[in-house]
Structure 1
Amino acid sequence: MTNPVEIGKLVHFARSCFQFVGMNELNASEAAEALVVTDAMGVFTHGTKLLAGYLKKLQGGGYNPTAKPRIEREGPGWAIIDGQSALGQVGSLFALRTAIQKARQVGIAYVGLRNTGHIGAAGYYAALAAREGMIAMATGNDIPSVAAPGSRTAVLGSNPLAYAIPVGDGDPILLDIATAAVAGGKVYAAIQRGEPIPNTWLIGPEGQPTTDGSLYPKDAALAPMAGHKGYGLGLWCEILSAILPGGNITWQVGSWIFDEPGRPSWHNASFTVIDVAAMSPMGEFQQRMRRLIDELHGAPTANGVERVLLPGEREWNSYRLAQTQGITLPPDVQEKLKQASEMTGVALGDFVITR
């Protein structure tokens, strides 16, 4: 068992680690916040578990701790941004804010971000836009790890797709999914914990499902989510994130985990935002949203189910609970935090030590 971690203390630790490797206070704070909020929402595969790996790339030069993303070209409702191999959170927040600013001017905007680091949880950015009154979609691409229906090898990354919808009197509706049957991080986590995996997660070297997690990623690929449907959505993410802005695609993208630390990963992302107020009176939009939400919450339920949940509702409940009771970090996350402490000399303290 572990003692719960206070959100503020975990943010302080992550921020201090990022500053140790050369990031300025603002970027370090925002990157730390992104990771810790993700932990607080219960998505431990994309929270501070990533910190040690990010630090390795920042120390090795693959990610530039002082890089400033820049707009390469733009129009009233679009922009293409070179992330300059900054940490993915830095590039993504710059791109998102650019998209929001343009959407406020013309109603809708698309921003493509190329040459960035691993972006973490795509839903984090979509939720930020939703709290600004925007409907938002975020996509990303990655080195291939996901098979297509009928393939024996990976053809696309576990490309994330997220959307968020503003809800005036509550947290945004939020969907954040890998277009694989499961995120690769969950396979690694299951292997590290010694847990079996279901036969719906991986495709083995003969193109058939396998439950042998040790084959991933060298000799197995992730299965696509919902078969051809997930494959199609993964391709959509590849096009919006990389093809359109001119970024690296499929096997041109590096592995931020396995490549040597000095090699950029050349990840890409996209952010599409719609200013609700530009197209519909906000009050009327929220009334219609409330009617829809009430209908969904009021749907008849199966035995043992209290009510139908909205996408993201479970995660926001976890976040609210973590604000008052702290975050109970799994052992695999604790181990990665210890590694981050050893890499930087930043004291971890006793708040994540296994009891």
Structure 2
Amino acid sequence: MTERRASAQELAALSYAVLTSAGADPDSAEATTGAMLHASLLGVDSHGIRLLPFYADCLRDGICNPKPKITVSHPRRSAVLVDADDGLGHLPTYRAMDEACAIARDTGIGMGVVINSTHFGAAGAYALAAANAGFIGFVTCNSGAFVVPYGGKKPIHGTSPIAMAAPLESRDPYFLDMATSSIPWNKVMRYRTEGLELPPDAALDAEGQYTLDPNMAVCLGPVGGSGFGYKGAALAGLAEVLGAMLTGMRLSIEQEGVVLADTKVGHFVMAIDPSTFVPLAVFNERHAGYLDGFKAEPGIMPAGGPEWAKRIDREAKGIPLAEGLHRELADAADKAKVAFSL
């Protein structure tokens, strides 16, 4: 059977139509679509177009403010605070990173927080936006508690992503986008949709035991699994400090959790001008030298390498739509009364 694929342009048109039908204002719909397609093109399918039905439902159900009045303020010279007004998290986070880059252009470093936000998809979308503008970008946030601490059975942390990207002219850059859990919860949902078995040491059942069955999973393990999960748990604490404590928003244990319908969420972004400490040519030479070091041994890649390979394939051939995902998108289009022809 031939694999069904759709172009980014086709999926973007569908996404924009579904989100605006659900009530989103044009800017929010465009930013949310862009963040999802970023993930889909790079092979991060857990945070890609499969989230469209979820976001549309959040808008219709009143979880997200469909037409937020986003405000921007500057509490300090190198800092920006963006109030998302309970809207979708993508647009305010892009704005926070844009502002952080503008500050970094002046002072060398800019940082920002987003408050009163909701789920913002793949953290890497915003880090890469900074890199594309010529800055080192860093992004993190906490999320609803469904990740157990090392040795525990009760969730305390969220998947709490950490993302970083560095600029490099005319080449794909260093690019990190990771959950501090073993896998993102959205990947468990994707495995359910596609009928796939979970990897070992990834998710736990209601008894607190690791399971391979995505339908039995109720929470996740930290990065490092049953043997070295203290590392993932510690990184999740970093996201808690910057995403919740620094923003005054909800801790992971105070959020809704597995349903991902969290509100009053905080995000943290930072942009660094690489020419602050060394000439840009030196930074670029060191950056390229690091990446080139991976070419010495076949089969190894730096962070970002698998994503760039996926992007080449998907830009040329389209984004794969597994049967379950295709059905979910068709249902979302039907609910929105939008034409569906993928």
TM-score (norm 1): 0.89
CA distance in 2 between counterparts of 1:314 and 1:273 reads 24
Q: Alpha-carbon deviation of 1:251?
A: 2.5
1:244 corresponds, among 240, 243, 246, to 246
CA distance in 1, matches of 2:328, 2:257: 18
- How far does residue 206 in structure 1 lie from its aligned partner after superposition? 4.8
Q: Distance in 1 between matches of 2:113 and 2:154?
A: 28
Query: Any conservation in 1 of the 2:27–2:91 contact (CA below 8 Å)?
Result: no
**Aligned mates of 2:314, 2:199 — CA distance in 1:** 30
C-alpha separation in 1, matches of 2:64 and 2:307:
30
Residue in 2 that maps onto 1:194:
195
1:292 aligns with 2:283: no
> Given the superposition, is the C-alpha separation of residues 282 and 21 from structure 1 closer, same or farther in structure 2, using an over 3 Å criterion?
same
Contact 2:124 2:164 in 1 (8 A): yes
1:254-278 CA distance string (max 9 Å, x none): 348376xxxx622221111111123
Determine helix, strand or coil for the equivalent of 1:176.
Answer: strand
- Runs ≥4 in structure 1, deviation > 6 angstroms? none
Contact 1:111-1:272 within 8 A present in 2 as well: yes
User: Secondary structure at the residue paired with 2:282?
Assistant: helix
Structure 1 CA distance for aligned equivalents of residues 5 and 125 of structure 2: 22
Deviation track 1:40-92 (CA, whole Å, cap 9, x = no partner) reads 11111101111111011111221111103223552111123221111111121
Change (3 A) 1:205 1:12: closer
Structure 2: distance between partners of 1:162 and 1:126: 6
Any conservation in 1 of the 2:146–2:258 contact (CA below 8 Å)? no
Structure-2 separation of matches of 1:96 and 1:253: 24
Equivalence map 1:156-171=2 (5 Å): 156-171=157-172
Q: Work out whether residues 113 and 269 of structure 2, in 8 Å CA contact, stay in contact via their aligned partners in 1.
A: yes
Shift of 1:294: 1.6
Secondary structure of the corresponding residue to residue 280 of structure 1: coil
Q: Does residue 328 of structure 1 match 2:320?
A: yes
Contact persistence 2:194–2:322 (CA under 8 A): no
Residues 1:235 and 2:227 aligned together: no
Contact in 2 for aligned 1:153/1:205 (Cα 8 Å)? no
Q: Can you list the C-alpha shifts for 1:278-297, whole angstroms capped at 9, x where unaligned?
A: 33221121111122222222
SS in 1 for 2:316: helix
C-alpha RMSD over aligned residues: 1.9
Deviates more, 1:195-204 or 1:118-127: 195-204
Unpaired segments of 5 or more residues in structure 1?
none
Distance in 2, matches of 1:314 and 1:100, equals: 27
Q: CA deviation at 1:308?
A: 2.2
Residues 145-166 of structure 1: per-residue CA shift (max 9 Å, x gap): 1001122210110111111111
2:198 is aligned with what amino acid?
I
Q: Write the distance in 1 (CA, Å) between the matches of 2:205 and 2:288.
A: 45
Which ranges in structure 2 are unaligned for 5 or more consecutive residues?
none
Tell me how far 1:317 sits from its aligned partner: 2.0
Query: 2 CA distance for matches of 1:119 and 1:21?
Result: 17
For the pair 1:184 / 2:185, whether they are aligned, the reply is: yes
- Structure 1 residue 127: Cα displacement: 0.7
Question: Residue 41 of structure 2 contacts residue 310 of structure 2 at CA under 8 Å; is this kept in 1?
Answer: yes
Matched to 1:83, the amino acid is A
Matches within 5 A, 1:1-355: 1-71=2-72, 73-217=74-218, 221-226=219-224, 227-255=229-257, 257=259, 265-298=263-296, 301=297, 306-349=298-341, 351=342
Secondary structure of residue in 2 paired with 1:216 = coil
Greater relative contact order structure (CA < 8 Å, 6+ sep)? 1
Distance 1:222 1:256 in 2: 10
> 3-state DSSP class of the match of 1:148?
coil
1:288–1:73 CA distance, 2 compared to 1 (3 A): closer
SS of corresponding position for 2:156: strand
CA change 1:131–1:189 in 2 (3 A) is same
**Which AA in structure 1 matches 2:184?**
A
The CA deviation at 1:197 is 2.1
Distance 1:25 1:204 in 2: 40
Aligned partner of residue 338 in structure 2, secondary structure: coil
Letter in 2 for 1:19: T
Task: For 1:93 and 1:348, locate their aligned partners in 2 and report how far apart those are by CA, in whole Å.
Answer: 29
- Between the aligned partners of 2:201 and 2:273, the Cα distance in structure 1 is 38
If the length of structure 2 is used for normalisation, what is the TM-score?
0.92
Which whole-Å CA distance do the structure 2 matches of 1:172 and 1:332 have between them?
A: 33
Partner amino acid, structure 1, of 2:277: M
- Quickly say closer, same or farther: Cα 1:314–1:69, change in 2 above 3 A: same
Query: How far apart are the structure 2 equivalents of 1:4 and 1:194?
Result: 19
Secondary structure of 1:270 counterpart: strand
Cα distance in structure 2, aligned partners of 1:233 and 1:258: 20
